[in-house]
Structure 1
Amino acid sequence: MPSRTLQIPTADGQADAFVAFPDGGGRHPGVLMYADGFGIRPVLREMARELAAHGYYVVVPNLFYRHGPAPLIELPEYIGAEVRPSVIAQVMPMIQAHTTERVLSDADAYLAFLAARPEVGAGPVAVTGYCIGGLLATRTAAAHPGRVAALAAFHAPVGAAGPDSFSKLTAEVHFGHAEGDLTPEALGELNDSLDAAGARYSSEIYPGTVHGFTMADTDAFDPAALQLHWDRLLPLLARTLPKS
């Protein structure tokens, strides 16, 4: 599975990004994958390769490139309860500095990068994201309704995007929520907002999960929930991204 680190030109400099794509040449649908707040690391690279193996060109940008190239902080191989507070304390200032204006400016650059790649087909793309990356994916899809055909976000604060963003979505949507993040009542309110916006979506709580359940290098990891994530994501992409 070919993979490499590339530079994406943005309005504020160069964003380093990990890309993975199928063997054998040809052109493939593009997928913009937003990492969680811990950023590009082995588990994200492996997830990108897994997705690429199904026939997609996957780009995972360093969200916080304005602070330097990835890795921006020294991460342990396993992010357990004893180190999580320290890690979050280091990444939180970068998350807080990543304003909506920066998110949308960068999204323009990331989608332009995909459009220009010779390995990427001319059709629509998908955006997917984890944790804070799921919110970024939602904002990207809302800002580019003619370009983004599929949106998926997992254990993400997607409600922060707000009804105005939901009303702009033309992509087919899947939101996979952690049970520890969202009560059934809050899920109902979120889904009511999506209904009111006329979104095509599925939005569900993954049973028995806590925030971060897809990430195999954390103590939140749930193997069954990660598989459910693939069971939802792959059919969504197959329905919405035509392959040549």
Structure 2
Amino acid sequence: MAKQDIEIKTADGLAKAGLFRPAGAAKAGAILYMDAFGPRRVLDAMAERLAGHGYAVLVPDLFYRNAPYGTFDVKTAFAVEETKVALMALVTGTTQDMTIRDSGAFLDALASEGITGPVGVVGYCMGGGRALNAAATYPDRIAAAASFHGGNLASEAPDSPHRKAASIKARVYVGTAGVDRSFPPEQSARLAEALRVAEVDHVIENYVGSGHGWCIPDHGSYDEAGAERHWKRLLAFFAETLA
């Protein structure tokens, strides 16, 4: 699967992105919202796998406002103070509101590449909440929104995704780690209640025994069986919703 490097004009500059096309005509477009460690080969491989099932997949650099920035060793980045500080500056400096604005440009980029119709979004870790907030902001363009080991999906923060549940028209799937300090049981219950009250078609599934980051191969908590289960769920979810 060939990667096409593109630049997307946003309100704040130019965001680099990878676009992965299927071998034949695309069934639909998809946006993959990255985790905190930024675009890298392992996310490209995940996008390639999704593209192999017929989707045109966009993987944008959410940290583009701070480019160029260094690469990070996922397994040690938070253990070394220097890289931990650099990473947290990128994460906290890229707000939910920024990504929400950018997501309109991401959707336009797919359309400009000839990929029209309903779009699916999927986010990992910090990308999970961004996928849900994008679905709430662009309800007529995003038909499916998935989050895997997403953090702070129903926190006290004013930009917490659960607060926008009433605006979501997409189907929602949330896969949670068995134990995850960034998405504890009380947040899961709060998110479920918000989606239920808003009459959003949703599933929240607990991957018991899996840790935060279990889907992504370069994470220390990667779990192959859990990752394959996530692929089975994501592909079925997109097939049912975007067909």
Structure 1 length-normalised TM: 0.90
Aligned match of 1:187: 188
For residues 88 and 190 of structure 1, the distance between their equivalents in structure 2, rounded to whole angstroms, comes to 29
Alpha carbons of structure 1 residues 101 and 31: separation in structure 2 relative to 1, 3 Å: same
Aligned match of 2:177: 178
**1:61 pairs with 2:57:** no
Aligned partner (choices 68, 72, 77) of residue 75 of structure 1: 72
For residues 58 and 17 of structure 2, the distance between their equivalents in structure 1, rounded to whole angstroms, comes to 7
For residues 224 and 194 of structure 1, the distance between their equivalents in structure 2, rounded to whole angstroms, comes to 28
The residue identity in structure 2 corresponding to 1:135 is G
Structure 1 alignment gaps of length 5 or more: none
2:146 touches 2:234 (CA, 8 Å); kept in 1?
yes
**1:125 pairs with 2:126:** no
Shift of 1:7: 0.6
For residues 203 and 162 of structure 2, the distance between their equivalents in structure 1, rounded to whole angstroms, comes to 16
Paired residues in the alignment total: 234
**1:156 pairs with 2:147:** no
Shift of 1:88: 3.4
For residues 232 and 179 of structure 1, the distance between their equivalents in structure 2, rounded to whole angstroms, comes to 16
For residues 51 and 141 of structure 1, the distance between their equivalents in structure 2, rounded to whole angstroms, comes to 19
1:163 touches 1:197 (CA, 8 Å); kept in 2?
no
What root-mean-square deviation, in Å, do the aligned CA atoms of Structure 1 and Structure 2 show? 1.6
Aligned match of 2:131: 137
2:5 touches 2:17 (CA, 8 Å); kept in 1?
yes
Aligned match of 1:210: 211
Shift of 1:32: 0.6
Deviation digits for residues 53-76 of structure 1, max 9, x if unmatched? 00000000000101114xx22223
1:3-42 aligned at under 5 Å gives the runs: 3-24=3-24, 26-42=25-41
* Percent of aligned pairs sharing the same letter: 36
2:28 touches 2:242 (CA, 8 Å); kept in 1?
yes
Shift of 1:184: 4.5
For residues 85 and 142 of structure 2, the distance between their equivalents in structure 1, rounded to whole angstroms, comes to 33
Shift of 1:173: 0.6
For residues 100 and 184 of structure 2, the distance between their equivalents in structure 1, rounded to whole angstroms, comes to 29
Alpha carbons of structure 1 residues 231 and 68: separation in structure 2 relative to 1, 3 Å: same
Q: Which moved more, 1:182-191 or 1:132-141?
A: 182-191
1:29 touches 1:124 (CA, 8 Å); kept in 2?
yes
**1:223 pairs with 2:224:** yes
Shift of 1:193: 2.1
**1:91 pairs with 2:87:** yes
1:2 touches 1:23 (CA, 8 Å); kept in 2?
no
Deviation digits for residues 81-135 of structure 1, max 9, x if unmatched? x4433343221111111123312210111011111112x2x21001110001111
2:4 touches 2:18 (CA, 8 Å); kept in 1?
yes
Q: Provide runs of 4+ in structure 1 moved above 2 Å.
A: 82-89, 160-164, 182-190
SS at match of 1:59: strand
Shift of 1:196: 1.4
